[in-house]
Structure 1
Amino acid sequence: MSQLFFIPPLISLLITKGKLRFFNNFESALALSLHYGILILALPISILLYKAKKQPWSILLEITTEPIISSAFTITFLTAFTAIAINALFGLVIAWVLVKYEFPGRKTLDAIVDLPFALPASVGGLTLMTVYSDRGWMGPICSRLGIKIVFSRLGVLMAMIFVSLPFVVRTTQPVLQDIEEELEEAAWCIGASPWTTFWQILFPLLTPSLLTGTALGFSRAIGEYGSIVLIASNIPMKDLVISVLIFQKLEQYDYQGAIVVATAVSIASFGGLLVTNQVQLWKQNLNR
């Protein structure tokens, strides 16, 4: 098949005179990593973009401007932005507490942060429903306050917060651990307050990792499906998000619409990561 054009060069590098040559030099290891990256990452995305490109521009514009699709895009991106803004704040606070303080249950909290990574998405959605449904632990309290979480846009927000929080914590935590305490002590010696020390000295060092975590969390949030499909009502114009919309279109055999929507999401996610990388490079150049 034409898609496998890159396999023979790899085989020729790995096989010499009928014997498998293990990776004993830089060239073979580099060839393996490049071919693996092409096979796993570049090839599927390239095929998706190619299939979308084959559609006329008029069809692409017609599909992306449909009321249901434009509403799904608006709901998804606004909710994801809200979720990652909340996680940027509280994720930084959690990372700070885990690094700076010793307290009973610290290791347990540190392990709990990784639960969204370990749990299947459907289990995460079921967990959220168990907590926030009308018969759940927090459901009656929320009902008395007039707050409806399950089968609403607020439930989508909770699911996005749940799956994206670890990205912020795990990207900022190692940076906090590597910051030398002498920097804070020097600032305190010259009379700087704790807030000034954090804002003027520590926060600039944390900004690149915080931006990386928020970008990864945002991409994870807009692609979440398993937990959202359980906790949301998935009604168009109400709380239907892009990931569920793509699955619905596949169920309806609307492959053209699914490809167009998936391509638009991929471009938006890649654009967000690209902007984040550019901001990081800009800040690094300023600090030199």
Structure 2
Amino acid sequence: MGFVLLGFGNIPHLQWFLFGLFFHIYVIVLLGNGTIILITKLEPSLQKPMYFFLGNFSFLKICYVSVTLPRMLMNLATQRRAISVVACAAQMCWVLILGATECFLLTVMAYDHYMAICNPLHYPLVMNRKACTKLVIGSWISSIPVQIGQTFQIFSLSFCGSNQINHFFCDIPPLLQLACGDTLVNQLMVYMVAVFFVSLPFLLILISYSKILSTVLKLPSATSRSKAFSTCSSHLAVVILFFGSAIIAYLRPKSSRSSGTDKVLSVFYTIVTPMFNPMIYSLRNKDVIMALRRLVFK
């Protein structure tokens, strides 16, 4: 009939502390990423492809956190951890879709940096508004059929044992642990989808940055090199934070899995990364800092 999300129930004395901590993180995520969306829409100096992608990325982060954090806060406050099968499937499907969208958007942003630094003369022609819109729409919708299919495949399994999910949201690894019978085919499908939606975008990002690094090192001016590295550093930091935790979470062997490690990694890429996203992009970007100042003064 349903599942029970154990979450952080193994530390009952810290329930209200965790509620306060995650509530403040949620507020920071909403305010920080909402501000990024606002300034990329209103500030004339930020009407560039890079900030168009950044605005969409910030909106994605708000969606990502809103799929998991509100229910976790409700569970911490009420101690009622039950979740229906339909709600669990919907939550997992949205987490998978938004996670794949983030992988694609980060790849598109890396390609934007590559074009700006390695092909500056062709950049305005290639990365026009129409092309950027198509890239964003493609990033949002391309994973939907696959992730809906993967969710249907997971929930078509038989769950005849415990209904307690040792996690704070419905994710694939803890659900597979509750399934009856042989889940080898399902695990292989998870690995295949993860390789395509996580490893392949990460590889494309690495290729983009290898070409960027090669181009930057050839620049004669130290100022130009410093500016190029500064442009890419924020995006690269987000890539390392997100892909590092996601790859470890989904592609490491089953024998090395533990529920505690899974929770920490999930907190990292679903909650911590969205919180740091505005800080990373605003602290390392002079255009964003100036736009924020103008917005505050207005």
Q: TM-score, normalised by structure 2?
A: 0.29
The structure that has the greater radius of gyration is 1
Q: TM-score, normalised by structure 1?
A: 0.29
